[in-house]
Amino acid sequence: MKTAKLIIGIVSIVVFMIIIFQSCAAGIVGAIEGGDDTSGAGGMLLAFTMLIGGIVGLVTRNSKGGGITAGAFYLLGAIIGFANAGIFTDLIIWSIIALIIGVFFIVSSILMKKPVKNMESDTNA
């Protein structure tokens, strides 16, 4: 699980760049069309929650609380993405991915076993 958290954290940081680029493009299109679409801003918020979740998940992959925190950021991003989907239809796909990753981080952190303490290393014999 620790290796999967490491890989997902790195991939999330890379995916941040893709989402932020698409969100900027959607924001520009929304401004040119003159509509009230907020999918560009929602995509940027989703991108930043994925970046934060990826960094937290990467740094705290051995920690139960850190994994739950990373999962919470992913789930928050998914909620923001679903709420703001408009002309930026890829936002729904990114939100589903964030939802899956968030559930993975939370479930894997809950199921994480406590490390076994080695009794031999505590003695000075």
The pLDDT tens digits of the residues spanning 39-77 come to 888 999 999 999 999 999 999 988 889 999 999 999 999
Q: Is the pLDDT of residue 89 over 90?
A: no
Distance CA 123, CA 86 (A): 63
Question: Does residue 117 fall inside a structural domain?
Answer: no
pTM of the complete model: 0.85
Question: Does residue 123 fall inside a structural domain?
Answer: no
Q: Is the pLDDT of residue 122 over 60?
A: no
Question: Does residue 39 fall inside a structural domain?
Answer: yes
DSSP for 42-110, please give it.
HHHHHHHHHHHHHHHHHHTTT-HHHHHHHHHHHHHHHHHHHHH-SS-THHHHHHHHHHHHHHHHHHHHH
- Please compute the mean of the pLDDT values over residues 105-120 and round it to a whole number: 78
Question: Does residue 58 fall inside a structural domain?
Answer: yes
Handedness of CA 101, 102, 108, 111 (dihedral sign): negative
Question: Does residue 100 fall inside a structural domain?
Answer: yes
Q: Is the pLDDT of residue 121 over 60?
A: no
Question: Does residue 120 fall inside a structural domain?
Answer: no
Per-residue pLDDT, 124: 57
What DSSP character marks residue 113?
P
- Please compute the mean of the pLDDT values over residues 12-40 and round it to a whole number: 88
How many domains does the chain divide into? 1
Per-residue pLDDT, 86: 77
Q: Is the pLDDT of residue 1 over 90?
A: no
Domain interval for residue 25 = 2-112
